[in-house]
Amino acid sequence: MNRFGTKFSITTFGESHGDAVGCVIDSVPAGLQIDESYIQSELDKRKPARTKFTTQRKESDEVRILSGVFNGISTGAPIALVIFNENQKSSDYENIKSLFRPSHADFTYFKKYGIRDYRGGGRSSARETAARVAAGAIAKKLLGEFNIRVKSGIFAIGGIEALEADFEYADKSEIFALDKSKEEAQKKAVLEAKEAGDSTGGCVFVKISNVPAGLGEPLYNKLDAALGAALMGINGVKAVEIGEGVNASKLKGSQNNDQMDENGFLTNHAGGILGGISTGADIDLKIHFKPTPSIFLEQQTQNEQGESVKFSLKGRHDPCIAVRGSVVANAVVSLVIADMLLLNASSTVKNLKKIYGK
Amino acid sequence: MNRFGTKFSITTFGESHGDAVGCVIDSVPAGLQIDESYIQSELDKRKPARTKFTTQRKESDEVRILSGVFNGISTGAPIALVIFNENQKSSDYENIKSLFRPSHADFTYFKKYGIRDYRGGGRSSARETAARVAAGAIAKKLLGEFNIRVKSGIFAIGGIEALEADFEYADKSEIFALDKSKEEAQKKAVLEAKEAGDSTGGCVFVKISNVPAGLGEPLYNKLDAALGAALMGINGVKAVEIGEGVNASKLKGSQNNDQMDENGFLTNHAGGILGGISTGADIDLKIHFKPTPSIFLEQQTQNEQGESVKFSLKGRHDPCIAVRGSVVANAVVSLVIADMLLLNASSTVKNLKKIYGK
Amino acid sequence: MNRFGTKFSITTFGESHGDAVGCVIDSVPAGLQIDESYIQSELDKRKPARTKFTTQRKESDEVRILSGVFNGISTGAPIALVIFNENQKSSDYENIKSLFRPSHADFTYFKKYGIRDYRGGGRSSARETAARVAAGAIAKKLLGEFNIRVKSGIFAIGGIEALEADFEYADKSEIFALDKSKEEAQKKAVLEAKEAGDSTGGCVFVKISNVPAGLGEPLYNKLDAALGAALMGINGVKAVEIGEGVNASKLKGSQNNDQMDENGFLTNHAGGILGGISTGADIDLKIHFKPTPSIFLEQQTQNEQGESVKFSLKGRHDPCIAVRGSVVANAVVSLVIADMLLLNASSTVKNLKKIYGK
Amino acid sequence: MNRFGTKFSITTFGESHGDAVGCVIDSVPAGLQIDESYIQSELDKRKPARTKFTTQRKESDEVRILSGVFNGISTGAPIALVIFNENQKSSDYENIKSLFRPSHADFTYFKKYGIRDYRGGGRSSARETAARVAAGAIAKKLLGEFNIRVKSGIFAIGGIEALEADFEYADKSEIFALDKSKEEAQKKAVLEAKEAGDSTGGCVFVKISNVPAGLGEPLYNKLDAALGAALMGINGVKAVEIGEGVNASKLKGSQNNDQMDENGFLTNHAGGILGGISTGADIDLKIHFKPTPSIFLEQQTQNEQGESVKFSLKGRHDPCIAVRGSVVANAVVSLVIADMLLLNASSTVKNLKKIYGK
């Protein structure tokens, strides 16, 4: 299944070293100004080789809108976006085509499908996330109509944590660092790993502001469940936290409860979601990325014949996938909120009467 | 949306203080022995008032199969399960019917629907999870046919963590404790919170063994994404970890990678999932529950008129929802694996030929 | 799959001779007055043994609401409806339990599932349509809020066709006849078939009025496609026509086109749907039911061992399923329109702004 | 919603006069040989301007596979197909850009979305069916692995009906005529309509052979319901018949029932489907297309301002959409059967054991 979302939904396609990656976005409401350059600017944030902190594989990642937009306005028809691949060096993968790179999806795709596209991980490559970012840009456009803002940045790298979250700063930082005072140490952790032929894990913080209260579809498309699926589905994510997250399991009710007064919530331990529905407060999410599995140190693995082999990887890889992951997390979260906005539109007879006017 | 799963799926219904809770399970393969007493035995693990560590609200929680089973065998027709409610004291909720209990879903349901069933939280009550446990029992029955085992227990309460995970011991423990050496301290944490009119958070560990390699539907119904949604969708869950989880974000690639030899994986940092597909190794999950929001200390909140009010809660509540949450997590995880087992059946032409025989 | 609809959707359960039939209705907008007696009155139209023109199997078909309604108002939670079975004579089926009744689903269920509930056809029985009618009543309640009316009746029996469609008369007719002048001949056709131990086919006409223009989700949940699926999915339906229907294939464009003037469409050959979207004109549907396969004449068939056998059926059966089929068609059509009403709510940014107010 | 199918599913995109039309096919089983030239050959059957009986708009309709195939074999990843548009004369539509062509979707798209792409009908154009035909080719490839054959042809044009169905002859006929003895009269009807600036309706017959018994997902994704939706969803279809179809409503049970002996069914009034599940006999479908709404005679209509106007259409149009509709019907039917093949794979525990081997 390559479809995500219920109403505002995307279907993506494409492999790392195939012809193209792309997506079809379904049920985009008609009447939205679709700004091609804006999609491109979102994609550019994710673009490889932008800084020395990401992979040096060069891709211009130019997006093209194939359908669904007429005279700059969405028509209600599906919007197809395509990004043609350019800089595929399949030769990088010749020496590993019959072995399973440790902690990659090579082994599991082979077990599932009996065949695998070994060039850059094929479909399992993080390259596919370009499609999510492009689609996310359109979702963000829609959210902008309602003043909903999705912000993200690097909270931690290799355990070096931010003490504050300055999203404006993050937008300008080469590694999207949320805390200027920790940025240098975090950058150093990335470069040290890179120079050692190794990689490092990292943590991304996402904040969504101005979400109307009432979004989320209980009981099995809850807002937190949908966000959990979207984020856990990003390549390399191993943990997702909402609000207090892991820490909530250590607290007492009297510490964790968000009391209210006439102005609303006095605290936001919940991270903006109660009972799977938005409260109107900020939605706070933390996403933990594992270190890039592609490292250059010699490793031991199995080949397709089941033999144990040693090998060293070649190619160009991100030393810390969390950095570009910050952009991806931002996009998928936007997709979820857009979907919930649409789904909630018919939650009451009162809402329907506003539309059908009786 | 009250449906969970793609093929092996459940649709649940019912409120805390309504007539009944229940579910319809769709696409259960025909030919499965359905053992009503087994469903009941799973439900009994979750049953309230079983020990002093859970709510004292008494419910016999007797399950009744309404359809889909003929002469003890599943027919392929949907299986409807119903549990009639018995011990509803709606009067407990008279004093709070117009106010929003802190960190409950009262506020968000009211915002979404403009109406709420204030009796015990109505649809947002954890009582609904009885339906998930009943459905999960049938999923476990199916998994049993393939030797897949789902085990769960309490890893931590109020920050007191197990040092080892003995699932057999957990099955006998009143609080499903995984580590006998920590059980007393964990129990004490629950009771202290209870006596103080407070509550405590906790962490559940789930392990799934003997999962065939190849389960999970990339790219947007990945095994980890589906598990993330299922677990984050349980009442009170604020964080989900897979394998190394949060810790993965602190490691280097050389530490986190799972190398292989001719016998398979040498480690299991991945927690049994790579690229969203099962590796065949154990799937390890940690789920963090917030403390029960229902506490008996005086709290401040808003009422439906938007005024600030103080109040004290009455009634019978779990001092630590993680305890019964362990049973629920076990059930929903079983539902996910059953669904993936069905979905994967058609992943290759080779599989289809085994069935259609050409 | 036992779920129908995308947003306003139903999941049904139950067998002819099991404990109960019922359904769970998902995403009913909150704030709808749910009138239990109204659901019952719709069910009563379909009730067996109401007249001599239907089966004499007696069922009181009493519906019970298990969830989703609080103080007479829908809460947004799923509405579970259950009808317990009463008058199951399983003994009627003892002599046919190992053979396949001609033109019944016995053979196909056995081939698909390797097991079948032979009592009255089990899941494949038209008894399940009671659940659709009950759910349809709630859909009609919602449609009523927007003045949308769904009317139905018998157009033809055994080839004897109505010349006009008087839906008010049909409501009072024992066989829901649309044309008083043809009613006697149609009744006679039913009774003659019945007396001969035979059965007869029939045709139902459904008209939906006051549908707002714009309903239907192109391109693969078009209004006509969804209606086609809903109607073709009713037991015994072999053809569905919209507007001119079959006749359209014989016409010229100049005859079939619906020209317009400033007041709207001058004709309605389209039957209220263009490009899969409602035009605002009446939606006209014809549904052709095969004759009841349960006849009392001696027939030849296969048994489960693959041998050829002769047998005679016992029991109580409708001589013309189209009669009660008229009620079922009315219900499923209502479900489709309700679903489309919800789905269309988010089709434009303008609509969303009416709801989220920015 | 632009997605069709449950597991083997397609999402299409593109407009008549946009950049491209295409689709993403999801859950194609891995290991299928994908023959690009075969997809092209199916597309060529539908290609405009192939004969004088179809529109003279010239499109080379070259298909390009963007993903999901590696070394000529499907990998399990989504297969994206794209056909770039070439011969768009938007100028043909300048004179009608603010008016609603009678019996086209112009009016309904405008009502639904508040905006419309007037160039050739935009998304509502039959041009989109090229994507269905391309996807259908891959479905047919899969069906071929199991010897399932889907055949189609013209049964009637303007009421001139075939007396026999020779599918081999149809493949060679310029109008896909099923009956050589009627072909000339049918051709003449097309050309006469064309010369008069008019158009004509027609009827397509589809036969599916060698379908395994047991396909179809009761109760709401029945094989007949799914086929009904697929066919009713083709542009211009106003009626769908299965087996006896309309005629079944005129028969007696003793005439319509398909009795059996030890060799199987003695007749096939059912058209290969009972209870929504395939019997193993041929599936017979008739599909009735309205006459092309694009005619060149002067017509009266409304413009976007609601005024009554007269106009004459320009451009190049099919005089009888049923002709190319025969190819489209063949394709969508193939998609349905492929989907059902996949869905049924997990219908029994026995099937699952064949795959998971325990």
CATH number of the structural domain spanning residue A167: 3.60.150.10
CB contact under 8 A, C77 and B123: yes
Residues of chain D under the 70 pLDDT cut: 87-90, 358
Name which of B25, C4, B28 is nearest D347 in CA terms: B28
Average pLDDT of the residues in C271-279: 98
Query: How many degrees, rounded to 5, is the angle at CA C258 between CA C255 and CA C263?
Result: 140
* In contact, C346 and A342? CB cutoff 8 Å: yes
pLDDT at B88 over 80: no
Name which of A271, A237, D343 is nearest B227 in CA terms: A237
At residue B357, the pLDDT reads 86
CB contact under 8 A, B123 and C24: no
CB contact under 8 A, C345 and A345: yes
Cα nearest neighbour of D28 on chain B: B347
CB contact under 8 A, B352 and D27: no
* In contact, A123 and A112? CB cutoff 8 Å: no
**How far away is chain B from the Cα of C217, in angstroms, using its nearest Cα?**
19
Per-residue pLDDT tens digits for A193-209 = 999 999 999 999 999 99
* Pairwise CA distance, residues C231 & C328, whole Å: 9
At residue D125, the pLDDT reads 93
Query: Which of left, alpha, beta for D235 (phi over 0: left; psi -120 to 50: alpha)?
Result: beta
* In contact, C21 and C85? CB cutoff 8 Å: yes
Name which of D227, D222, D188, D221 is nearest D204 in CA terms: D227
Contact list in C for residue D219 (CB cut-off 8 A) is 1-2, 4, 12, 123, 128, 233
* Pairwise CA distance, residues D113 & A69, whole Å: 12
Contact list in B for residue A16 (CB cut-off 8 A) is none
* In contact, A226 and A339? CB cutoff 8 Å: yes
Residue A51 identity: T
Per-residue pLDDT tens digits for A298-352 = 999 999 999 999 999 988 789 999 999 999 999 999 999 999 999 999 999 999 9
E strand spans, chain A: 3-4, 9-14, 20-26, 63-65, 69-70, 73-74, 79-84, 149-157, 160-161, 202-209, 237-242, 260-261, 264-265, 273-274, 277-278, 283-289, 299-302, 308-311
Residue B226 identity: A
Sequence-distant (≥ 6) Cβ neighbours of residue A267 within 8 angstroms: A258, A259
* Pairwise CA distance, residues B147 & C65, whole Å: 39
* In contact, D103 and D317? CB cutoff 8 Å: no
pLDDT at C88 over 70: no
User: Residue C256: which of D111, D222, D290 has the nearest Cβ?
Assistant: D290
| Secondary structure string (H, E, C) spanning chain B | CCEECCCCEEEEEECCCCCEEEEEEECCCECCECCHHHHHHHHHHHCCCCCCCCCCCCCCCCEEECCCEECCEECCCCEEEEEECCCCCHHHHHHHCCECCCCCCHHHHHHHHCCCCCHHHHHHCHHHHHHHHHHHHHHHHHHHCCCCEEEEEEEEECCEECCCCCHHHHHHCCCCECCHHHHHHHHHHHHHHHHCCCCECEEEEEEEECCCCCCCECCCECHHHHHHHHHHCCCCEEEEEECCHHHHHHCEHHHHCCCEECCEECCCCCCCEECCEECCCCEEEEEEECCCCCCCCCEEEEECCCCEEEECCCCCCCCCHHHHHHHHHHHHHHHHHHHHHHHHCCCEHHHHHHHHCC
**How far away is chain D from the Cα of C297, in angstroms, using its nearest Cα?**
8
At residue D90, the pLDDT reads 67
Contact list in B for residue C97 (CB cut-off 8 A) is none
CB contact under 8 A, C356 and A146: yes
**How far away is chain C from the Cα of A349, in angstroms, using its nearest Cα?**
5
D93 in reach of chain A (CB within 8 A):
no
Q: Where does the pLDDT of residue B48 fall: very low under 50, low under 70, confident under 90, or very high at 90 and above? A: confident
Per-residue pLDDT tens digits for A64-84 = 999 999 999 999 999 999 999
Rg of the Cα atoms in chain C: 21
**How far away is chain D from the Cα of C36, in angstroms, using its nearest Cα?**
25
Predicted TM-score (pTM) of this structure: 0.97
pLDDT at B59 over 80: no
CB contact under 8 A, B114 and A259: no
Q: Where does the pLDDT of residue C89 fall: very low under 50, low under 70, confident under 90, or very high at 90 and above? A: low
Average pLDDT of the residues in C48-59: 80
Q: Where does the pLDDT of residue C82 fall: very low under 50, low under 70, confident under 90, or very high at 90 and above? A: very high
User: Residue D113: which of A18, A75, A109 has the nearest Cβ?
Assistant: A75
Sequence-distant (≥ 6) Cβ neighbours of residue C144 within 8 angstroms: none
Could you tell me the CA-to-CA distances from D226 to B273, C221, C230, C286, D217 in Å, in that order?
35, 11, 9, 18, 9
* In contact, C108 and C114? CB cutoff 8 Å: no
* In contact, A160 and A154? CB cutoff 8 Å: no
* Total tally of structural domains belonging to chain B: 1
Residue C116: CB atoms within 10 A of its CB come to 26
* In contact, B114 and A353? CB cutoff 8 Å: no
CB contact under 8 A, A349 and C212: no
pLDDT at A244 over 70: yes
Lookup: tokens for A61: 């990642």
A139 in reach of chain C (CB within 8 A):
no
Q: Find how far residue C63's CA is from the centre of its chain.
A: 18
At residue C52, the pLDDT reads 85
Pairing of strands D79-84, D73-74: unpaired
Residue D267 identity: T
What is the DSSP-derived secondary structure letter of residue C221? B
User: Residue B290: which of A4, A244, A300 has the nearest Cβ?
Assistant: A244
At residue B89, the pLDDT reads 66
E strand spans, chain D: 3-4, 9-14, 20-26, 63-65, 69-70, 73-74, 79-84, 149-157, 160-161, 202-209, 237-242, 260-261, 264-265, 273-274, 277-278, 283-289, 299-302, 308-311
At residue A316, the pLDDT reads 79
- C321 φ, ψ (degrees, to nearest 5): -70, -15
**How far away is chain B from the Cα of A310, in angstroms, using its nearest Cα?**
9
- Which residue in this structure is represented by tokens 């489960």? C304
* Pairwise CA distance, residues B50 & B32, whole Å: 30
What is the DSSP-derived secondary structure letter of residue A195? H
D70 in reach of chain A (CB within 8 A):
yes
B85 in reach of chain C (CB within 8 A):
no
At residue A60, the pLDDT reads 84
* In contact, D304 and D106? CB cutoff 8 Å: no
At residue C90, the pLDDT reads 67
Q: Where are the alpha helices (DSSP H) in chain C?
A: 36-46, 106-113, 129-144, 167-172, 180-195, 223-232, 253-256, 321-344, 349-356
Cα nearest neighbour of A351 on chain C: C355
Helices B321-344/B129-144 angle, 10° precision: 50
* In contact, C332 and C231? CB cutoff 8 Å: yes
* Pairwise CA distance, residues D336 & D328, whole Å: 13
* Pairwise CA distance, residues C82 & C63, whole Å: 6
CB contact under 8 A, A14 and D79: no
Q: Where does the pLDDT of residue B90 fall: very low under 50, low under 70, confident under 90, or very high at 90 and above? A: low
Residue C26 identity: D
Could you tell me the CA-to-CA distances from A314 to A110, A318, D284 in Å, in that order?
21, 13, 57
pLDDT at C56 over 90: no
Best mutation target among B244, B278, B290, B302 (most A Cβ atoms within 10 Å) is B290
Average pLDDT, chain A: 95
Domain of residue D198, residue span: 3-356
Lookup: tokens for C189: 């056709």
Torsion of CA B271, B275, B277, B282, to 10 degrees: -10
pLDDT at B96 over 90: no
- Which residue in this structure is represented by tokens 């829908």? C74
* In contact, D15 and D117? CB cutoff 8 Å: yes
C146 in reach of chain A (CB within 8 A):
yes
**Range in A177-181, B258-262, D55-59 the model is least confident about:** D55-59
Residue A60: CB atoms within 10 A of its CB come to 12
D350 in reach of chain B (CB within 8 A):
yes
Average pLDDT, chain B: 95
Sequence-distant (≥ 6) Cβ neighbours of residue D23 within 8 angstroms: D10, D11, D12, D13, D80, D81, D131, D132, D134, D135
| DSSP-assigned beta bridge partners for residue C239 | C288, D241
Residue A258 identity: D
ipTM rounded to 2 decimals: 0.97
- Which residue in this structure is represented by tokens 């035995």? B41
Number of Cβ pairs closer than 8 Å across B and C?
Answer: 143
**How far away is chain D from the Cα of C263, in angstroms, using its nearest Cα?**
8
* Pairwise CA distance, residues D177 & D152, whole Å: 9
Per-residue pLDDT tens digits for A19-64 = 999 999 999 999 999 988 999 999 999 887 788 888 877 778 899 9
Touching chains, A (3+ CB pairs < 8 A)? B, C, D
D20 in reach of chain C (CB within 8 A):
no
